Structure 1
Amino acid sequence: MTTDPRTWNAGEMVTAAMLNQEIRDQLNSMFGAWTPYTPAWTAATTNPALGNGTMIGRYLKIGRTVQFHVELTMGSTTTYGSGAWSLSLPFAAAAGAGTRVGLAHAVGTIRAAGHTLVAPLAANFQCFFPASGSVSNLSNAGATNPFTWAAGNGLRATLTYETAA
């Protein structure tokens, strides 16, 4: 939990409590445990349903920079929806120009390396994987990309981006 730094005044008597709050506590917040969050999983046409699968998210926010990681494991009652998948961010992205690219990994009938993408002002991110094993063009992750998902398959995504606030 970071707070804005204190404004010091000339001649002010500095106490141990002030130093602890301004230095120790700020540094502890940067080196502490990541904060858990539960991402929302949606799709462009029909939303997937987690069923008995699992999804965990966690993040570390320092100032307006967030690093986060999501792990989605499909269960036997998971449904995959239709259209491009999106997962919610822990905080909305900043309005700056350009996109933020991170890493994604799909584990199933194959292991596929991919990318994550966050657009300016976005509240969600998307994963992109090769459209097939024989091409390197990237397509949105969905029910059949990078393979037909099944129970026990997993999607992992990691990204660092700037938040709106």
Structure 2
Amino acid sequence: MADPVSPAEGQLIDKAFWDIEVYDRAMNLEGPWTPYTPTWKAGAVAATIGNGTLTGKYKKVGRLIFWAFRFAWGSTTPVPTDAGIWFFGFPPGLPIVGDQAGSARCTSPNGFQWPLSVSQNVGIEMWFTTPADAAISRTVPYTWGASTAGRSITASGFYETTA
């Protein structure tokens, strides 16, 4: 999408100008989001999802990227062997300029929710921390395993890109 333009002094806003500068931009805002599959790592080791779900979507509007993400633990999701922090990928090919803003929560099957902070790692991955400033890992906010099926992390936010 091109940068917005203003009509020159005395220029009438004709149909072509209206279509390109107003209508097409508005339709892009309402258009579909692009799905993507986020990466998942525990420390430096790729993790596998089993029968859980790991989905993402994004919407590019000019140089702003709006993103949404959901991770749900399944009954066959294996506990990562690496005890490190869990990292999840931002939309690929859309590098971050500066900081990103976002919010997240961890939800249990009974509906209990923990608010999480979203941070970025080298501009390509996100990680989450609890209100106690503990990073999400295989033991935070609880020990993940077969008994934690149905627990999830949901996040959304936005950032500026160079792409």
2:22 is equivalent to residue 20 of structure 1: no
Write out aligned runs for 1:26-45 (5 A): 26-45=25-44
Moved more, 44-53 or 102-111: 102-111
Correspondence for 2:159: 161
Number of residue pairs the alignment of both structures matches: 154
- Structure 2: unaligned runs, 5 residues or longer: none
Distance 1:111 1:11, change over 3 A: closer
| Secondary structure in structure 2 of the residue aligned to 1:138 | coil
- Cα deviation 1:96-151 (Å, max 9, x = unaligned): 3xx434211111275211110125x5111111114xxxxxx312111111112221
Letter in 2 for 1:58: K
**CA–CA separation in structure 2 for the residues paired with 1:7 and 1:101:** 30
Name the % identity. Answer: 30
**What SS does the corresponding residue of 1:23 show, helix, strand or coil?**
helix
Aligned partner letter, 1:66: I
Match of 1:19, SS state, is helix
3-state DSSP class of the match of 1:100?
A: strand
Given candidates 90, 113, 120, the residue that maps to 1:118 is 120
Distance 2:96 2:38 in 1: 15
TM-score by length of 2: 0.79
SS in 1 for 2:19: helix
Partner residue of 1:62? 61
Which residue is 1:89 aligned to? 90
Show the counterpart of 1:49: 48
- Label 1:123 to 1:45 Cα distance change in 2 as closer, same or farther (>3 A): closer
Match of 1:145 in 2: 140
Counterpart CA distance in 1 for 2:79 and 2:31 is 35
Give how far 1:70 is off.
Answer: 0.4
CA RMSD of aligned residues (A): 2.5
Aligned twin of 2:106: 106
TM value normalised by structure 1 = 0.78
Aligned residue in 1 for 2:128:
127
The CA deviation at 1:18 is 4.3
Given that 2:7 and 2:13 are in contact with CA atoms closer than 8 Å, whether structure 1 keeps it comes out as: no
